[in-house]
Amino acid sequence: MNEDIKKYTEYCLNCLVKPCSNKGCPLNNDIPTFIKLVKEENVEEAYKVLSKTTVLGSICGRICPHMKQCEGSCVRGIKGEPVQIGEIEAFVFDEALKNKWYKNIEKTSEMQGMKVAVVGSGPAGLTCASFLSRSGAEVTIYEKYDKLGGILRHGIPDFRLEKDILDKTIESILDIGIKVEYNKELGININLEDLEKEYDAIFLGFGANIPSKMNIEGEELEGVYGGNSLLETGNHPSYNGKKIAVIGGGNVAMDCARTIKRLGAEKVYVIYRRAEKQMPAERKEIEEAKNEGIEFLFQNNIVKILGNKRVERIECIRTQLVKKEGETREVPINIDGSNYEMNIDYVIMAVGSNPEKELVEKQGLKLNKWGNIEVNENKQTSKEKIYAGGDLVGDKGTVAWAARAGRDAAEAMLRNWGRTPFAQNK
């Protein structure tokens, strides 16, 4: 064990109330227990403790917004720096991948005889598939690309998550006996009606991949891109010597801005209508973006995109934050007369994403008023046999929350096994 990890474990107070686990961690990982085991140099046992709740430790330990989750709830952080929980978690799972401890994880036969299809292989799909397979179910993942990972592969840049770590994590998940059907896309060469005939249950975890629009003038011009689409496809234009505006304040905006800067852009501006303290992006990502030369325009809002066929300029307006009755936080209000223009070559909209409405409705599923797939507390859709989680249903947008949705769906399937709608159970 390296000295840094040893130092981090000794700093932990091993709290009895476990706010890092119970309040901070979406997966409710037993953080004090696994850290105590690492401190005692029983790393494999620490891995077994973590494996009860997560299969993505090497990934979550690296890319989770720790200060908004586990580390943000750490008692040590009240008067000083929190315990470096993410680094310890990543260390434990890296050791597990290296030593193949995942081969020793206990399996049960609770769901033996059950066949489940998992559509999509992002954090929700991978987690759901793993926990189902551990419980004895026969699981097949359907993936539209020729590699697994979903947003972990196609949405998170290499500088935040090395693909070697992702590949080893996926290998550890598939090792339990999960089958994979590559190049299978819902609505193209597979559909729910056929899957329903073959499987006892189906989990949808293929994400929300249609970029949201602001519905402003000029959004249709050439040179306007959706942030999610750019990260997923990697089909970037040439940014050399260009000025780029990234609209939004989440991790997608940070990933876009930092990627584009690395691809040779002269200037990259992140335009966010609220204050810096309100940005949903992880603090670490914001600071690293600043260090890389990305400029932030806080309390500014884009109102028009201008140009002849393609982007030439943008019009922005400054905002002020106002506390309105009934609102839990200050909201941005445009300041009359504060409009100004900037010369810009490309505009990247990183203001959220939605499920493909037509695809979802063609599959016979209901959408809620926000355009997400409607599910109940058990992650069941309007079709009892079909479950969904992650961005598709509007779950909180972090890897850990998506993984929690996949685990919750697997547990709900286990509870339902032997009852309606699983008529094929023998």
- How many independent structural domains does the chain possess? 3
Q: Is residue 229 part of a domain?
A: yes
> ω into residue 355 within 30 of 0, thus cis?
no
Instruction: Return the structure tokens found at 79.
Output: 């008067």
| pLDDT the model gives residue 21 | 96
Q: Is residue 333 part of a domain?
A: no
Over 80: is that where the pLDDT of 396 sits?
no
CATH classification at residue 15: 1.10.1060.10
What's the mean pLDDT in 218-244? Answer: 95
Over 80: is that where the pLDDT of 18 sits?
yes
CA distance 366 to 386: 12
pLDDT > 90: percent of the chain: 80
Which domain-ending residue is among 104, 123, 146?
A: 104
pTM: 0.92
CATH classification at residue 274: 3.50.50.60
Q: Is residue 7 located within the same domain as residue 100?
A: yes
Which of 92-106, 310-324, 381-395 comes out lowest in average pLDDT?
Answer: 381-395
Q: Is residue 19 located within the same domain as residue 99?
A: yes
CA distance 294 to 312: 20
Write out the H or E segment, with its range, that includes residue 120.
none
Q: Is residue 328 part of a domain?
A: no
Q: Is residue 218 located within the same domain as residue 297?
A: yes
CA distance 58 to 62: 7
Q: Is residue 164 part of a domain?
A: yes
Q: Is residue 82 located within the same domain as residue 157?
A: no
| pLDDT the model gives residue 125 | 97
Q: Is residue 193 located within the same domain as residue 224?
A: no
| pLDDT the model gives residue 185 | 93
Which of 34-38, 185-189, 201-205, 357-361 comes out lowest in average pLDDT?
Answer: 357-361
CA distance 349 to 338: 22
Q: Is residue 124 part of a domain?
A: yes
Which domain-ending residue is among 46, 69, 104?
A: 104
Q: Is residue 109 part of a domain?
A: no
Q: How distant, in Å, are the alpha carbons of 94, 157, 289, 393 from that of 162?
A: 12, 8, 18, 28
Q: Is residue 194 located within the same domain as residue 220?
A: no
Dump pLDDT digits (tens) for 68-124. Answer: 999 999 999 999 999 999 999 999 999 999 999 999 998 888 888 999 999 999 999
Q: Is residue 327 part of a domain?
A: no
Q: Is residue 219 located within the same domain as residue 280?
A: yes
Q: Is residue 98 located within the same domain as residue 126?
A: no
Q: Closest by alpha carbon to 173, among 326, 54, 60, 19?
A: 54
Q: Is residue 372 part of a domain?
A: yes
Q: Is residue 58 located within the same domain as residue 120?
A: no
| pLDDT the model gives residue 45 | 97
Q: Is residue 129 located within the same domain as residue 182?
A: yes
Q: Is residue 215 located within the same domain as residue 294?
A: yes
Which domain-ending residue is among 75, 104, 133?
A: 104
2 pLDDT tier (thresholds 50, 70, 90): confident
Q: Is residue 252 located within the same domain as residue 342?
A: yes
Which residues span the domain enclosing 67?
3-104
